[in-house]
Amino acid sequence: MDISINSLTLTQPDDWHLHLRDGDILRSVLRGSVGQFGRAIVMPNLTPPVVKVEQAAAYRKRILQALNDTAGETQEFEPLMTLYLTDDTPPDEIYKAAESGIIYGVKLYPAGATTNSAAGVTDLLGRCLSTLEAMQKVGMPLLMHGEVTDPKIDIFDREAVFIDRVMIPLRDALPELKVVFEHLTTRQGAEYVRDAAGPIAATITPHHLLYNRNALFNGGIRPHMYCLPVLKREIHRQALLEAATGGSGRFFLGTDSAPHLRGMKESACGCAGCYTAPYAMALYATAFESVGKLDQLEAFASLNGPRFYGLPVNKRKITLERASYTIPDALSVGDDELVPLAAGETLPWRFADAAYT
């Protein structure tokens, strides 16, 4: 990594948690990731969800077609596909996934926990044990949306309670299963991942590094700051920053970029998800610099993820420039709009690349 006052050059990063969606919106949002990121773990929570290897293969083709149509051949980008775990995913689908060469993880959405999770899992060990055993056997990572869905549990406590109710029993039963605690948001989560035995890692989003829950109510209700797991108190943001910048190989970049059209966010019942991908590296650099840890950015963004997934590090480099840059108020998508995270805010860093506008 090469850090100077005016620029920052690092191994091209990967995004280990990305929602690309499908259809027209896929074409628009893909451009925000390509160039910046070499690869991305593509989330399977489409409607209908990607539950079978054939569906993942077809979705991958649509992504590659969109890439070809929009970015052209010059931009290389590899979508790493995932399957959506259900109560009825058979172990055979895991063996198929392992043989496919295109599936890199299986995603747990506790039923009802988040966007498009209705088909998710109702009882992980009760319903999925043989499938999880197959995953452990073939080394297929389980990517977990780590929140309980019990309505009696306060929404700000759902991640911490998930550790005791789901994560620990799961990992006691299957100690060799590779697990990614996705979009970590709490001090309890950071400490658990840091200290636990066995193969575990976590992704951290730019928004959970930069904002606490006050941002949701800053002068009025702010739907574009709403995602799940919801932003937490400042002590949790501090703990996440410490985890991301502290040199542990267990924490790596996952934007959880989750675009929803403006009208779906600015609504009486707005969707959860922050659109972060197009400005992700500038956002992460801003967060790392805020604690004087820019020198840790490359490990977090470009090295730790490939090591956990057993993949090579990217060969290309990217450069961020120190140039104050104001994130646009909105980005057009056909006749509609997406409002990016931090719209209207000025960042001290910019990733200037052809596919990035």
Residue stretches of the annotated binding site for Zn(2+): 17, 19, 107, 145, 183, 256
Using the rule CB under 6 A, is 185 a contact of ligand NCD? Answer: no
Q: Which residues between 256 and 275 bind Zn ion (CB under 5 A)?
A: 256
Examine the residue annotation and report whether 256 is marked as an active-site residue of this protein.
Answer: yes
Give 114 or 314: the residue with its C-beta nearer to ligand NCD: 114
Cβ distance 138 to 106 under 8 Å?
Answer: no
Nearest residue to the partner ligand NCD, using Cβ: 273
CA 145 vs. chain centroid, Å, equals: 10
In the complex, the smallest distance separating the C-beta of residue 208 from Zn ion, rounded to whole angstroms, is: 12
115 binds ligand NCD (CB under 6 A): yes
66 binds ligand NCD (CB under 6 A): no
Q: Rule CB under 6 A: which of 251-280 touch ligand NCD?
A: 256, 258, 272-273
Which of 39, 145, 171, 207 binds Zn ion (CB under 5 A)? It is: 145
Nearest distance, CB of residue 19 and Zn ion, angstroms:
6
114 binds Zn ion (CB under 5 A): yes
Amino acid at 55: Q
Cis before 79 (ω within 30): no
Question: Which residues carry a binding-site annotation for substrate?
Answer: 19-21, 45, 145, 228, 260, 272
Q: Is the peptide bond before 13 cis (omega within 30 degrees of 0)?
A: no
| Separation of alpha carbons 332 and 261, rounded Å | 10
User: Distance between CA atoms of 98 and 92, rounded to whole angstroms?
Assistant: 10
Question: For ligand NCD, which is the closer residue by CB, 189 or 273?
Answer: 273
Residue bearing tokens 């000025």: 346
- Integer Cα distance of 212 and 310 in angstroms: 33
**Cα angle value 232/277/298 (rounded, 5°):** 85
Pairwise CA distance, residues 72 & 144, whole Å: 33
- Interacting residues toward ligand NCD by CB under 6 A: 19, 45, 114-115, 145, 227-228, 256, 258, 272-273
**Any idea which residues carry the catalytic annotation?**
256
